[in-house]
Amino acid sequence: MQTPLTTTVPVLRLPRGPDGLSRGFAPDGRRAPLKPVVPEIPESQESRESQEQRARATLRERYLRSLLAMVGRQVSFTLHEGVHVTAHFGATDLDVANFYVSQLQTPIGVQAEALLRCSDIISYTFKP
């Protein structure tokens, strides 16, 4: 029986299974409270560096979650020279150097799809 030659969809990896040791629900899993959990090590012992590291990680995570929350929403951007534009937020690239937006309302018309350079953006705001 001749079947057409096809490939199977590639996968990054297989789903992770139970670890066989615990019941799971890792305290540092995806849904851990965003405020950092009180550490076991007393603060005096923990180096300033790792404190800072944790703070940075928390702030970064919060920022990335804010980007996720923005997807598909109407966002108002304040650009240089007092220019304000609004658009529907699509995505950013890995370094958050560009914002991919659609339906960009500009003073000279509506752009269906556009890339906003983050270096051009002073601030942006949206309602979740």
Partner 1 sequence: MAMRQTPLTCSGHTRPVVDLAFSGITPYGYFLISACKDGKPMLRQGDTGDWIGTFLGHKGAVWGATLNKDATKAATAAADFTAKVWDAVSGDELMTLAHKHIVKTVDFTQDSNYLLTGGQDKLLRIYDLNKPEADPKEISGHTSGIKKALWCSEDKQILSADDKTVRLWDHATMTEVKSLNFNMSVSSMEYIPEGEILVITYGRSIAFHSAVSLDPIKSFEAPATINSASLHPEKEFLVAGGEDFKLYKYDYNSGEELESYKGHFGPIHCVRFSPDGELYASGSEDGTLRLWQTVVGKTYGLWKCVLPEDSGELAKPKISFPETAEEELEEIASENSDSIYSSTPEVKA
Q: Which is nearer to partner 1, 24 or 109 (CB)?
A: 24
Structure tokens at 42: 């007393």
The total number of residues shown for the chain amounts to 128
Q: Pick from 6, 47, 119, 125 the residue near partner 1 by CB under 8 A.
A: 6
> Among residue numbers 49 through 88, which ones bind partner 1 (CB under 8 A)?
65, 68-69
Q: Pick from 1, 2, 21, 24 the residue near partner 1 by CB under 8 A.
A: 24
CA quadruple 111, 112, 117, 118: dihedral, nearest 10? 110
Least distance CB 80 / partner 1 (angstroms): 30
- Per CB under 8 A, 14 contacts partner 1: yes
| Distance in angstroms (rounded) separating the CA atoms of residues 82 and 99 | 19
74: number of Cβ within 10 Å: 13
Question: Which residue do the tokens 């995806």 mark?
Answer: 30
Residues that bind partner 1 (CB under 8 A): 4, 6-19, 23-26, 29-31, 65, 68-69
